Structure 1
């Protein structure tokens, strides 16, 4: 069974289509867990109506401490061995759940699988396609480019395009409740280093990125880069000294190469102490 988890708060604009997109997947072994944070609009009424028609929809409506807390509640409720997180305003491509569950039949636990994701604007026009095909810890930590407020290339930009074994949380813990903006990146950094990761060059998810959404507005205020930098720096501190050294070298490679070229061209400008050491080394070897 696969468990799709959707956190929502005052999401009447998208909740019906979100529920319908899972229904339209036509996969029998699925449950859709809706975690409503105590909405004051018509969200709960729409959920109730759909849940009365479709028994695979399970839902709770109560105050929570934010998106991470809601997702964690969904994980604790999940009966499936496979987890997918579908934000209320995002959606899957047709037949994705069937495709994903077939892939998991042949994978060891815990595994994380990642596909491509369409990034859409407010009119559902395609902005770009995220193809995160470099899913190694070093590649993720070195990826500093930001495209439309999200990390480009290496990182999956949205959970609608990745799925994983529920058992992965036994190794890495749950989502950080105190984190409200980069909880996905924090999860992925831990997941990539603790699971069997496989990328598929197939489009699975659709991510709406437009004014009024949390990620867009945080980026527009200029906060995204500093949050990402802090997350990366904190994570690097948990690595071994050798791994930290490798990351430092990789990050500064251009600077190092420029220095080597400069002093190769102007060896007389090398500090005296370094020239003496190099001379001694050359005489020894």
Structure 2
């Protein structure tokens, strides 16, 4: 089963090499790595060219547009989106997930992601085995750990570029009850804190609220959970200060 790993990047000269080398260290044999560069103005493209990877470099309409470009260029049966400042936990992560998908005929498989600071110090672990109701309430799936069969994108569409920080949540809500989903209680990816959804939490919650409404959640319940998460986040922020 061929795996396509898609990496979006823009001005990532300080991180893209680690990402590429993490992919190349995987013990799974049948991998293609596709890098979608958004027209970087630093040394990113020269670094990419120094490795044997497939890439394009052009301006895009944001990270989810880059995701969609990568999926459209992929030729693997399974697609994993690995962001440029993220790396695999160990060299057997891809093979671990693919074994699970093959053994249980899964269309989607996800696990844990370990969040770390810029100096790779542990922050926390995210990800959870969830129902669609859980997912309607809050984005509880660690999307950087999520492997998806390419045919799922063909049947249900890609990421909505109308969302700027929560298109991954909307995509998962759209497909969740229509495909066979599995969870692995293992850390798949180490992710650097500071992604778009973690650094823009107010926008993230607002877009997740919209995604829940679009995908069938009661307006009153969606409104309740949106306000609950916003209040909780602000209280935590006050306590931390």
**TM-score normalized by the length of structure 1:** 0.72
Say yes or no: does 1:156 pair with 2:129. Answer: no
Q: Matched residues in 2 for 1:142 and 1:223: separation?
A: 16
Say yes or no: does 1:236 pair with 2:216. Answer: yes
Q: Matched residues in 2 for 1:158 and 1:198: separation?
A: 13
SS across alignment from 1:46: helix
Say yes or no: does 1:199 pair with 2:200. Answer: no
The one of 48, 68, 78 equivalent to 1:82 is 78
Say yes or no: does 1:215 pair with 2:212. Answer: no
Q: How far 1:112 sits from its partner (Å)? A: 0.6
Q: Matched residues in 2 for 1:126 and 1:178: separation?
A: 33
Deviation sequence 1:45-72 (CA, Å, 0-9, x none): 0000112xxxxx2111111111111111
Structure 1, gaps ≥5 residues long: 52-56, 144-150, 238-243, 253-285
SS across alignment from 1:167: helix
The one of 90, 93, 98 equivalent to 1:96 is 93
The one of 48, 65, 68 equivalent to 1:69 is 65
What is the root-mean-square deviation in Å for CA atoms of aligned residues? 2.1
Q: How far 1:229 sits from its partner (Å)? A: 1.6
Q: Matched residues in 2 for 1:201 and 1:157: separation?
A: 12
Q: How far 1:157 sits from its partner (Å)? A: 2.9
Aligned residues: 222
Q: Matched residues in 2 for 1:174 and 1:164: separation?
A: 11
Structure 2, gaps ≥5 residues long: 226-241
Structure 2 partner of 1:5: 6
Give yes or no for contact 1:171–1:194 (8 Å, CA) kept in 2.
no
Deviation sequence 1:156-213 (CA, Å, 0-9, x none): 2332x11111111122111112222101111111221221011111111112113xx4
Q: Matched residues in 2 for 1:129 and 1:225: separation?
A: 20
Q: Which stretches of structure 1, 4 residues or more, deviate above 4 A after TM superposition?
A: none
